[in-house]
Amino acid sequence: MDQVNPDFIGAVLEIWDDARFDGLDFYSEFGPRTLQRLFEIHPESKEVFGVNQNPKMFQARVDAHAKSLVLLVDGVFQMLTNQPDMMDQVFEQLGQKHEMAGVTKDLFPHMGAAIGYALETFMEEPFTDDEKYAWGEVYTALAYEITKFYTEDVDDDEDDPDQEAKADATMKEEEEDEKDESPKHHGHEHRHSIDDVTQQVAAVSIGE
């Protein structure tokens, strides 16, 4: 993240704080809005959640992921501010978990657009051109930092017979971690540890 203009990071953090403090339903609605938009603009992303398998299992995975997504993004942003020296460790663990879950590198831009769309719904005014540019710069850097730890390009599920089992294991971890998380976090005093962040298995991306 050293290559990103600090002013861009500051602008993104300010937008995030405005949305989460002003939106009364932010922590409950951000994840669902993001995934709904993701499925609209990139229907193939449903395959990561097992859409071709049991419908109930698919919905359970989506619900668990929606709950953990907002906590993960929130944690990453707070650590960028308060514990920047620990971010390499966070990115490495996130990269490993995303690869194991079958999240391909080309999914990140779509998730970025979906998160940007969802975030903007909590703002009083649409993003300005400068804010959109800052989002794009920070998101691109975050996605790179995570995917650079991929050991290899993730292939389609049909090329990896163990992919379904890996995804199931990752989603199970996510559901267990969610049980220990409080549903809402208000105020600047809330801080995340590395374990808090890496326990949330989600596709990190900050939208344009």
* Domain limits for position 44: 6-198
What CATH number is given to the structural domain containing 66? 1.10.490.10
The secondary structure of residue 34, as a DSSP letter, is H
Report the number of distinct structural domains present in the chain.
1
Whether 205 maps to a domain, the answer reads no
What would you measure as the largest C-alpha separation in the chain, in angstroms? 47
Whether 204 maps to a domain, the answer reads no
Whether 87 maps to a domain, the answer reads yes
- Indicate if the pLDDT at residue 151 is higher than 60: yes
What's the pLDDT band for 60 if we cut at 50, 70, 90?
very high
Query: pLDDT tens-digit profile of 3-21?
Result: 899 999 999 999 999 998 8
CA distance 111 to 71: 16
CA distance 184 to 166: 29
Which pLDDT value is given to residue 53? 84
Which pLDDT value is given to residue 140? 94
Whether 94 maps to a domain, the answer reads yes
Q: How open is the CA angle 179-30-49, to the nearest 5 degrees?
A: 65
Cβ atoms within 10 Å, residue 46: 16
Token pair 């990140």 is found at 108
Report residue 107 as tokens: 């999914």
Report residue 95 as tokens: 């990269």
Whether 120 maps to a domain, the answer reads yes
Whether 208 maps to a domain, the answer reads no
Alpha helices by DSSP H, the chain = 6-22, 26-41, 55-82, 87-100, 108-120, 129-147, 163-179, 194-198
Whether 12 maps to a domain, the answer reads yes
Of the candidates 113, 80, 103, the residue with the CA atom closest to the CA atom of residue 149: 103
Query: pLDDT tens-digit profile of 77-111?
Result: 988 888 888 999 999 999 999 999 889 999 999 99
Query: pLDDT tens-digit profile of 14-51?
Result: 999 999 887 679 999 999 999 999 999 999 999 999 99
- Indicate if the pLDDT at residue 115 is higher than 90: yes
pLDDT above 70 coverage of the chain, percent: 73
Whether 23 maps to a domain, the answer reads yes
CA distance 27 to 11: 20
Token pair 């942003």 is found at 77
